[in-house]
Amino acid sequence: MTLRAATSAAGVAALLALGACGGGSAGLPGTVERDRIELVAEASEPIIELAVHEGDRVAAGALILRLDPRVGTTQLEQARASARAAGARLLELTRGARSEDVAQARAQLEGAQAQAESEARELVRQKALLAQHLVSATAVDRQQLAADSAEAERKRATAALLELERGTRSEQIDQARASASEAEARVAELEISVGRLAVRAPEAAIVDALPYKLGERPVKGGPVAVLLADRTPFVRIYVPEPMRAGVRAGTRASVTVDGVKGTLAGSVRFVSSEPAFTPYYSLSSSDRSRLSYLAEVSLTDASARALPSGLPAVVHLEGGGGG
């Protein structure tokens, strides 16, 4: 059953208690209600602490219950490690090559150049000896291969030094920056998720229901606590179709509540734009086939804040609505 269905059920019970009643001098019957707040589970983890009991009044930010944070904390530490690695990689690319790396690459190039020059000179000498028939053609071929290999190594060393001297390409830096941002966002997401494992009241409220016991594992996204906002309550009523045109948000009302002396001031805060079939007991016998509109009447008297939810009430709307 949804929260609205549960609330409607409470209203139905109160209306039954009042008996058949509709427009006219008797007013519009309803029930005293409070805004309900569902707190859901961030993860399907066992409840390791229940800090309140049903019926307790809690302040804004008060701990309601706590889910086991070990899995979430582990995931958070992994994400933080990945973020540190991504940040270090970005810093490395941004700073470019160290002077020691450049010096090493330059020395390797000098060695490769010396080797290539030496092999080239030896190739010239071998060709001269071949012309005098002092060496075989095979020996010259081997030397040609050695000279070509030395030249290729010289070109590789030249390119490596040039890459270090020119620094990292902007595209690589952009990719590394994007990776670091993604890793940081993942850390922020997990920090929020782990923080939500400690379920807290978003505002001052009354604990209405705690569906789970200590040690139980709720379904992710399922309600783990239901609160009633600790504010001035409202009265839920049904407005018959003939009265609907005269009722709008802001319409003033006077409200009588069972067990409370005198009347309380109120004003309509909401009227549904969608009609519904009214329960037979909320209309007179001549109006039972008509449609009605769900409405909520805020109680503006400060004394109404102490009223318990579920009390039957009768609303008289200004301008003849309901009275």
95 belongs to a structural domain: yes
**Cβ contacts of 256 within 8 Å, gap of 6 or more:** 27, 262, 263, 264, 313, 314, 316
193 belongs to a structural domain: no
| Closest C-alpha among 202, 221, 222 to residue 211 | 222
43 belongs to a structural domain: yes
Cβ atoms of residues 215 and 66 within 8 Å: no
318 belongs to a structural domain: yes
Cβ atoms of residues 58 and 213 within 8 Å: no
- Which structural domain, as residue segments, surrounds residue 250? 1-35+231-323
Q: What is the CATH number of the domain that holds 206?
A: 2.40.50.100
Query: For 23, which DSSP code?
Result: S
218 belongs to a structural domain: yes
Answer with the one of 163, 187, 211 that is the final residue of a domain.
187
Q: Does the reported pTM lie above 0.75?
A: no
Q: What angle do CA 145, 151, 156 make, to 5 degrees?
A: 125
Give the model's pLDDT for residue 192.
95
* 146 and 169 both lie in a single domain: yes
Joined together, the tokens standing for residue 179 give: 């990776």
* 156 and 112 both lie in a single domain: yes
Please tell me whether residue 255 adopts helix, strand or coil conformation: strand
Give the model's pLDDT for residue 174.
87
* 60 and 205 both lie in a single domain: yes
Indicate left, alpha or beta for 221 from its phi (over 0: left) and psi (-120 to 50: alpha): left
**CA dist., res. 228 & res. 191, Å (int):** 28
Domain count, the chain: 3
* 178 and 222 both lie in a single domain: no
| Closest C-alpha among 200, 209, 202, 201 to residue 309 | 209
Give the model's pLDDT for residue 164.
72
Placement of tokens 């549904």 in the chain: 272
* 93 and 161 both lie in a single domain: yes
192 belongs to a structural domain: no
Give the model's pLDDT for residue 241.
84
* 166 and 224 both lie in a single domain: no
| Closest C-alpha among 70, 80, 63 to residue 45 | 70
Q: What angle do CA 282, 287, 288 make, to 5 degrees?
A: 60
Answer with the one of 134, 153, 187 that is the final residue of a domain.
187
Indicate left, alpha or beta for 45 from its phi (over 0: left) and psi (-120 to 50: alpha): beta
Placement of tokens 């705690």 in the chain: 210
Query: For 77, which DSSP code?
Result: H
* 151 and 250 both lie in a single domain: no
Give the model's pLDDT for residue 190.
96
DSSP line for 115-160: HHHHHHHHHHHHHHHHHTTSS-HHHHHHHHHHHHHHHHHHHHHHHH
| Closest C-alpha among 245, 234, 242 to residue 307 | 234
For 170, the enclosing helix (H) or strand (E) is: helix 170-195
* 205 and 58 both lie in a single domain: yes
Give the model's pLDDT for residue 272.
92
Q: What is the CATH number of the domain that holds 260?
A: 2.40.30.170
* 165 and 222 both lie in a single domain: no
237 belongs to a structural domain: yes
220 belongs to a structural domain: yes
* 161 and 14 both lie in a single domain: no
Low-confidence ranges of the chain (pLDDT < 50): 1-25, 322-323
* 30 and 43 both lie in a single domain: no
* 204 and 272 both lie in a single domain: no
Instruction: Output helix, strand, coil percentages for the chain, rounded to the nearest 5.
Output: 45, 25, 30
Give the model's pLDDT for residue 173.
83
